[in-house]
C-alpha cells in the first residue's frame, strides 16, 4: 500500500462496487476471500478504500463473482485510471460525480452546504424538487431524490450525518412551485432545523458582500483518516469533485466566514417562519 495513502472519490466508488458485488452474492468477507485467494483483511481494505484496488485484483473478483464481463471490465478500467492518476498520468474515465454524489452523502460524517437560490438538496421536498426540475433533465431530478434519501437514511442512523447549511435570504423569497409548494418547503425546513445535527443559517439581505458570493458548493467530511474532505460543485451541465486538500481547505475557510456573516440559528428560523407566514 502506498505510504500515507489517501483514497480519491474514484477509488471509493471502486471499493463500493466491489462490496456491492459481494453483497449481491451473499458472501461473507471470509468466504469471498477464500474463493479468490485473498485474506479477508485485504478484501475489507479494498472495499473500504483503505488501500488501492489493483486492476488485476478487480479482474479476479469479477471472475470469481461471475460478474458480467462488460461490467467488471468497466470497473477494471476505473482501477487502471486510478492507478495511473496516482502516478500522475491519468486519462479521462467514465466516472460521473453527479451520479456518485448520493453515495458520498451516505458515507460522510459532516456535510456543509452553501446554496445561492435553492434550498439545499438534502432538505428539499419532492414537490419543490419537481418544480425546480420541471424543465430540466429527469435524470438529475432522480439523483437529487437519491441525495435526499441518503440524508433521510442517515438521520435515522445511530451515527447521524451532521448538516450545516448556509444560504441567502433570497432562497426564502423565491416562490418555487407556487405558494402551496413553497410554504410546505419552508415548514419542512423549520421542522428539520429542530434536529440537533442540523444547523440552518440565513445570510440576510442587508449583509452586503459575503465569502464565496456567486459560488455555491457542498463540502463533505469523513470519519476515516484516509478519506480526505471532498468539495462538490454542480451546474446544470455537470457535477465535479474537488479533492486537492489546499482547495478543500479554502472551501472550509469560506464556509466558516459565511456562518459568521449569517444570522444565528434562532434568528434564521424566525426569518424562515416569517417567509412562510407571508405565503
Q: Are 103 and 13 in contact (CB under 8 A)?
A: yes
Residues 6+ apart with CB under 8 A from 121: 113, 129, 144, 147, 148
| Percent of the chain clearing pLDDT 70 (strictly above) | 95
Tens digits of residue pLDDT in 3-57: 678 888 889 999 999 999 999 999 999 999 899 998 999 999 999 999 889 989 9
Residue pLDDT, tens place only, 44-78: 999 999 988 998 999 999 998 999 988 988 888 88
* pLDDT tens digits for range 136-194: 667 777 888 888 888 888 887 888 899 999 999 999 999 999 999 999 999 999 999 99
Nearest alpha-carbon partner for 45 in 200, 224, 204 = 224
Q: Identify the band that residue 89 occupies on the pLDDT scale cut at 50, 70 and 90.
A: low
* Unique residue bearing C-alpha cell 480519491: 8
pLDDT at 3: 60
pLDDT at residue number 209: 92
Determine which helix (DSSP H) or strand (DSSP E) holds 200, and give its type and residue range.
Answer: strand 198-203
Q: Which CATH number fits domain 9-86: 1.10.510.10, 3.90.79.10, 1.10.260.40, 1.10.3720.10?
A: 1.10.260.40
Q: Are 13 and 243 in contact (CB under 8 A)?
A: no
Reported as a pLDDT band with limits 50, 70 and 90, residue 91 is: low
Q: Tell me, what's the pLDDT at 115? A: 96
Residues linked to residue 114 through DSSP beta bridges, in sequence order = 166, 217
pLDDT at residue 136, rounded to an integer: 62
pLDDT surpassing 70 at residue 246: yes
Give every CB contact of residue 80 below 8 A, 6+ residues apart in sequence: 55
| Mean pLDDT to the nearest integer, 195-203 | 95
* Res. 259: pLDDT tops 70: yes
Query: pLDDT tens, 134-146?
Result: 766 677 778 888 8
Question: Domain-by-domain residue ranges, the chain?
Answer: 9-86, 97-277
How many C-beta atoms lie closer than 10 Å to residue 269's C-beta?
18
pLDDT at 93 exceeding the cut of 70: no
- Does 97-277 match 9-86 at the fold level? no
**Average pLDDT value for the chain:** 90
State mean pLDDT over 85-98: 71
pLDDT: which is higher, 65 or 235: 65
CA–CA distance, 124 with 192 (Å, rounded to integer): 11
Q: Which residue has the cell 495511473?
A: 84
Three-class secondary structure of residue 204 per DSSP? coil
Asked whether the CA dihedral 133, 207, 165, 221 is positive or negative, the reply is positive
Half-sphere exposure of 114 (CA within 13 A, CB side): 23
Q: Residue 85's pLDDT is what?
A: 79
In sequence order, the β-bridge partners of residue 219 are 112, 231
Cα 7 from Cα 48, distance rounded (Å): 9
Question: CATH top-level class for 97-277?
Answer: alpha beta
Buried b (16+ CB within 10 A) or exposed e, 59-78: bbbbebbebeeeebebbbeb
Amino acid at each position: 500500500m502506498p505510504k500515507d495513502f489517501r483514497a480519491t472519490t474514484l477509488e471509493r466508488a471502486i471499493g463500493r462496487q466491489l462490496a456491492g458485488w459481494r453483497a449481491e452474492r451473499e458472501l461473507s468477507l471470509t468466504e469471498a476471500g477464500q474463493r479468490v485467494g485473498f485474506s479477508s483483511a485485504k478484501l475489507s481494505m479494498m472495499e473500504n478504500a483503505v488501500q488501492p484496488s489493483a486492476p488485476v485484483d478487480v479482474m479476479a473478483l469479477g471472475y470469481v463473482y461471475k460478474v458480467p464481463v462488460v461490467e467488471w471490465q468497466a470497473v477494471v478500467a476505473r482501477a487502471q485510471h486510478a492507478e495511473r492518476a496516482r502516478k500522475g498520468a491519468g486519462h479521462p474515465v467514465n466516472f460521473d460525480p453527479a451520479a456518485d454524489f448520493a453515495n458520498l452523502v451516505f458515507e460522510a460524517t459532516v456535510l456543509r452546504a452553501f446554496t445561492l437560490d435553492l434550498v439545499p438538496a438534502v432538505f428539499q421536498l419532492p414537490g419543490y424538487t419537481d418544480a425546480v426540475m420541471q424543465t430540466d433533465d429527469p435524470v438529475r431530478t432522480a439523483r437529487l431524490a437519491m441525495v435526499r434519501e441518503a440524508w433521510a437514511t442517515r438521520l435515522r442512523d445511530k451515527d447521524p450525518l451532521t448538516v450545516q447549511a448556509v444560504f441567502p435570504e433570497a432562497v426564502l423569497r423565491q416562490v418555487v412551485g407556487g405558494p402551496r409548494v413553497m410554504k410546505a418547503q419552508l415548514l419542512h425546513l423549520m421542522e428539520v432545523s429542530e434536529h440537533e445535527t442540523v444547523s440552518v443559517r440565513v445570510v440576510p439581505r442587508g449583509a452586503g458582500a459575503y465569502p464565496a458570493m456567486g459560488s455555491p458548493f457542498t463540502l463533505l467530511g469523513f470519519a476515516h483518516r484516509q478519506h480526505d474532505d471532498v468539495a462538490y460543485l454542480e451546474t446544470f451541465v455537470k457535477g465535479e469533485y474537488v479533492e486537492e486538500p489546499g482547495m478543500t481547505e479554502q472551501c472550509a475557510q469560506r464556509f466558516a466566514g459565511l456562518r459568521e456573516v449569517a444570522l444565528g440559528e434562532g434568528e434564521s428560523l424566525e426569518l424562515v417562519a416569517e417567509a412562510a407566514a407571508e405565503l
